[in-house]
Structure 1
Amino acid sequence: MSTLTAHRRFYARFIVASAGASDERLVAAFEAVPREDYVGPGPWPVFIGSGYLPTISDDPGLLYQDVLIGLAPERGINNGQPTLHARCLAAVAPAAGETVVHIGAGSGYYTAVLAHLVGPDGRVLAYEIEADLAARARQNLAWAGERVEVMAASASAGPLPACDVIYVNAGATHPPAAWLDALKIGGRLIFPLTPDTGMGCMLRITRLGERSYAATALMRVAFIPCIGARDLAASQSLAAALERQSLGAVRSLHRDSSPDASVWCAGPGWWLSTAEPQH
């Protein structure tokens, strides 16, 4: 075994275990994807909160740490924190043969992990609004063939194909109707629900029936904005909810109905509730 392979194997086990997961399929998916193939040539800019610090060399082994690597630092676009993504992927558990929509694919690293999780009988539709990053992702993911399709487009407004999982890597102030409509029964959506300022939360939504959705706020997060999925009024409502209520209280999502006393946060056409979902 080469030193680089050993680094990647340890990294895969480390980030999945650090995320509180034990799924061997997830470990294998991270182990199978060379991060160096998706982040451009080194040395690499490592995000440190206030800016970026370059790695000491272009040794790919340096990439197998729980760090954010800048993909387009001048635009604040990074290859996200591996443990965060491991936790989110464990939460929606893409299965072999499923169809996944990946929104905010960047240069395709986590798209590749998704492709390994759904396997040769599955499908990943990747959306990336930044045309240069979409082109990089398309090239980086050529090995997957027809299993992966990359589109240089927004996924916020237009209809999406019916899918089992929607994995969003950019912050939205609300769940767009197009995302909720695309979920099959049993489908899972995970996205950063974020106000315009400050941190938001990673929200998982599971479609239990035609009009029934379970919801869980997993953790506090900060992400770059999802273009087309931002609304000032929704941001203000969310910021107020985050200030006064516990993330752990979220239980369900409702659509096209008036909020009742169990409301956690509300916006036009949707609201989160502290009550259990109705089946």
Structure 2
Amino acid sequence: MANVDTLRTFYARYVTAHGECKDPRIQQAFAAVERENYLGPGPWQVFTPTGYISTDTADPAVLYQDILFGLRTDRGLNNGEPSLHARCLDAAAISPGETITHIGSGTGYYTALLAHLTGDTGKVAAYEIDPSLSVRASSNLAHLKHVRVVEESGTSAVLPRSDLIYISAGATHPLNSWLEALNDGGRLIFPLTPNRGLGGMLRVTRVGSDTYAAKLICPAMFIECIGARDDATGESLVNAFASNTADAVRSLRLKTLADHSAWFVGAGWWLSTSGPNNSVV
């Protein structure tokens, strides 16, 4: 019978292959970070389309699958799908020593992966609004001295200047506070999600003052990000994603009128199928 370390190694290979990761460090991170240290004692509740089912075992081997485990089943809040996060972490292009802000850290599993990728020369600030989850994250991440957990909303806090802002809850729009906290070359990755159905993981890269490249990485569905939802925008996004043209997005525009290249128009922002400054990318 395979031991947990062997299963974790295979799990790391699987989720990064499924996520089409190009950076080998993503696989190394998933192989190194022990998921059982962040989900609490078993048995665990597994999310399915028809409700939660119990693992009926406390054997950590069961955790090394590409499935969602409940963190707060009363709220439908789960530890996210590993292969989706693998894809997003790869797209984040994290370099050692970078400063990272994680909003919606839950109990800290993906925060730990972010911390592994930036290394102990980097810094990670993890924001979690739910007190019960924040307490668990603080305990789970205490061994990582370059990580600090903040029990505060990442939509209202004054965020540190960051090379990467990684959001683990669904928003209908990018907040100005997120964009303003990005360093030059900084990336914002967040789930842009409609009121119903699938949205997408949006990567926004600051390439200049008020100039941002943008790309929708993959489909996504997340719990709502409190403080970053607008019902009318969420309703409009339903039709945008239903068009199946999300791959055409190339830039985020602010403080300008939308033109013929508009893929989606929000309040004070829009997504364009042309690159930053109307370049073709």
Q: Which range, TM-score by smaller chain?
A: over 0.9
Residue of structure 1 equivalent to 2:73: 73
Residue of structure 1 equivalent to 2:46: 46
Residue of structure 1 equivalent to 2:219: 220
Contact map agreement 2:195 2:237 (CA 8 A) in 1: no
Alpha-carbon separation, structure 2, partners of 1:5 and 1:156: 37
Contact map agreement 1:130 1:152 (CA 8 A) in 2: yes
Which residue identity is paired with 2:25? R
Alpha-carbon separation, structure 2, partners of 1:105 and 1:124: 11
Shift of 1:222: 0.7
Residue of structure 1 equivalent to 2:254: 255
Residue of structure 1 equivalent to 2:3: 3
Matches within 5 A, 1:1-279: 3-145=3-145, 147-244=146-243, 246-278=245-277
Shift of 1:245: 5.4
Alpha-carbon separation, structure 1, partners of 2:46 and 2:92: 28
Alpha-carbon separation, structure 2, partners of 1:245 and 1:11: 30
Shift of 1:18: 1.4
Aligned length: 277
Cα deviations by residue, 1:222-261 (Å, 9 ceiling, x for unpaired): 1000000001222123223223350111110011111111
Alpha-carbon separation, structure 2, partners of 1:59 and 1:4: 9
Structure 1 residue ranges without an equivalent (≥5): none
Alpha-carbon separation, structure 2, partners of 1:241 and 1:42: 40
Q: TM-score, normalised by structure 2?
A: 0.95
Alpha-carbon separation, structure 2, partners of 1:52 and 1:37: 21
Cα deviations by residue, 1:122-177 (Å, 9 ceiling, x for unpaired): 011101111110010000000002x0011111111343111001111100000000
Alpha-carbon separation, structure 2, partners of 1:204 and 1:139: 30
Shift of 1:22: 3.4
Which residue identity is paired with 1:109? Y
Alpha-carbon separation, structure 1, partners of 2:77 and 2:244: 30
Percent identity between matched residues is 52
Runs ≥4 in structure 1, deviation > 4 angstroms? none
Alpha-carbon separation, structure 1, partners of 2:244 and 2:19: 25
Contact map agreement 1:44 1:54 (CA 8 A) in 2: yes
Partner secondary structure for residue 198 of structure 1: coil
Q: CA RMSD for the aligned pairs?
A: 1.3
Which residue identity is paired with 2:263? W
